[in-house]
Amino acid sequence: MTIREAQSQVDLWIKTVGVRYFSELTNMAILTEEVGELARIMARKYGDQSYKENEKETDPGDEMADVLWVLICLANQTGVNLTEALEKNFEKKTKRDAERHQNNQKLK
């Protein structure tokens, strides 16, 4: 699935199953919540925190998909073509960081 297809499929799902988009501000809050849930998993699975007794190990991929879903909703609501935005972002980073990381002694 391409990013463009994902944006179309999320839009169709929202309009047929989800009834309508939540407001942009609500979706921004939901995105923050989903990123927090992913951070919790990452801190326990790959970081120094351990799972609490009543917590079960969860799938970071599922949480990443939740983050992506809400981000796509926000893009659709605000008229952002994520394919174009990502392509421009690659260009910006390539130009800005052409030698930066290669010359970073911390990365060697």
CB 7 within 8 A of CB 82: yes
- Cα–Cα distance, 28 to 48 (Å, whole number): 28
Tokens of 99: 């030698």
Could you report the per-residue pLDDT of 7-27, keeping only the tens digit for each? 999 999 999 999 999 999 999
Could you tell me the CA-to-CA distances from 23 to 3, 4, 27, 29, 99 in Å, in that order? 22, 22, 6, 10, 41
Would you state the pLDDT for residue 56? 81
3.40.30.10, 1.10.287.1080, 3.40.50.300, 3.30.365.10: CATH of 3-107: 1.10.287.1080
Q: So where are the chain's domains?
A: 3-107
Could you report the per-residue pLDDT of 26-69, keeping only the tens digit for each? 999 999 999 999 999 999 999 999 988 888 878 999 999 999 99
- Residues shown for the chain: 108
Give the amino acid at 98. A
